[in-house]
Structure 1
Amino acid sequence: MPTNNIVPLQERMGLSERNIMYLLVFRELAVASNFPNAIYQSIKNELQYINRGKAQSYLYAVVDEMANFGWIEIIETQGTKKYYRITSSGHQKVENFRILFLQSIVNIKSVAQHFYDLISGGTPSAPVMLTPSEKKIFNRLVNVRHLTTYLILSMLSESSNSHLTGKQLWDLIGQRHLWQPGDKYIYEITRMMEEDKHFIAGEWTNHRRSAYLYHITETGTLAINYEAQQSLHYLIEIIRYATYLILLFPSPK
C-alpha cells in the first residue's frame, strides 16, 4: 500500500500555501475577534499541510500582511495583545476565495466520493462533470493508473461487457462516470495490462484485423481487489483533504 498519508503539498486543489493561511485566519476571526498567538494555538494542529506554517512567526507575518491589505484591523490592544477583526474588504476577499475555489473543491470531492462509493460496494453518488482544470487537479491527486486498471477489470468482468475494444472501454468509462483518462492513455494502459501484467488478453475479430477485443484473464480477476485497494487509498485522501479545505471557508454572512 502507498505510505503517504498527506496529499502532496504542491497539490492543493488550486489554493496556495499562503491562501490556506489567509483562510485559516479568516475562519478564526469569523468566530470572534482575537490576537495572533491565540489564533496560532487554535490552528497549529492543522498546520501539517503548511510547510512554513508550522512556525509561529509565519502566522504573525500573514496577520501583518492581511492587516496591510486592509482585510483585518486592530480593534483593541491589551498590553502586547492586539485583537483583530475582519473588515468589509476582508469579507469580500473571503467571498472572492469562495467564488474562485470552493465549487471546484466540492466538485473534485464529489468525483472522488463517486468512485469511492463504487469501489467500496456502496451506492455510487451521481457523477459530476469536471471542468478541464478540475480534471487536471483530480488526475494529479488520484492514481490514474490504478483507478483506470480497476475500472477496466471491473467492466470486463461483466457478462454484457466481457469483450471490448480499447475505444469501447474508454467510451464506457466516460458514459458511466463523466470522467476518463486521456484517450491515448487508454491504449497505453491496456497494452501494459496485456503485455506486462497479463490482466487482460486480446484477439482480433477476423483476419482483416477490424477490431481488437480484450477479455479479462484469471490473473486479472485475482488483481481486481488489489487495484481497488490501491485506488481507494488515494480517493480517501482526496475526500479527507477536500473536506478539510471546504471547512476553511467561513459560512456566508
Structure 2
Amino acid sequence: MNYGIWADIFMEHEYVGGRCEDFTFRPDPPTAETMKREGIMMRETAGGFRLIADESAFSHEISLVFWAYPVHRNLWNVTEFGEIPADSIPFAKIKDESLQWETSSKGDIPEAMQLPKPMFGMEIANSQGKSGASITLSLKTKKMKWYYYISGLPDNDTAEIVKIKGDKEASPFDTTKGNLGESVFVSKQEIPLRYGAPPLFQLREKKTSKAIIKCLPNMDARSVSTVILDGRREIVAESFVNT
C-alpha cells in the first residue's frame, strides 16, 4: 500500500500567541466508520492532527466530520466566534485548501459526541484526485476593557496607570472610586486577553516616573466578569490589587 497525507489541520489561538495545542479532536461515529473503510488514519500533531490515507482514498470525494474539545476550560471564556445563536455551535467547512466558518445546530451533534461539550465542529472534504490539504484554523480572543481594583492608595487623584512595554497602542485608564473606597482604573480601550506575561503596566505617581507598583498583574481567563456599562451588560476583565 502507498500512503499519503490526506489532510493536515493546525490550530492557532490569539490567546496563546500562535500554535495552540489545547484541543483534542474526535471523529463522529459515521466518520470513524468511513475512516476504517477507506483506510484513513488519524495522527495527533503539535497543535492539530494529520489524516493519512492509502492512495485509493484520493480517487473519490470523501467527507469527514470532527469535533473539537478544549483541554483547558479557560479557552471557553476567551474565544471570540462572533454572533452565534444560543442553539448553535461554530462549524468549520473545509474543502481542499478553502475554509469557511458557519454555524450548526446543537441538535445536530451526535449524542456520542455531546459529552464533554465540543467547542466547535469541522467538516473536512476533498475533491476527487486532490490530496495533501493543509489548513490552519485561527481563533481570536475576546476584546474587553480591563478593570484594576486597587486598595491602599493614599490619594486616588495622584496615581495613573502607564504602559511601559507591550502593545504598540497606548491604553490610557480612567480613574474612579469604588464602593469600598478602593481606586478603580478602567481602560479606555478594549485589550485582548493573552496567556503568560502581561503587557507590563505600571502604577505611577502622576507627572513623575516614581512607580507605586512596578508591574501590574496580567488578566487571565478566570478574571472575566460582567458589569453594567451605559445601561447594558458588558464583559470585562478584573483584577484586585493590594498596595
Q: TM-score range by the shorter chain?
A: under 0.3
Between structures 1 and 2, the one with greater strand share: 2
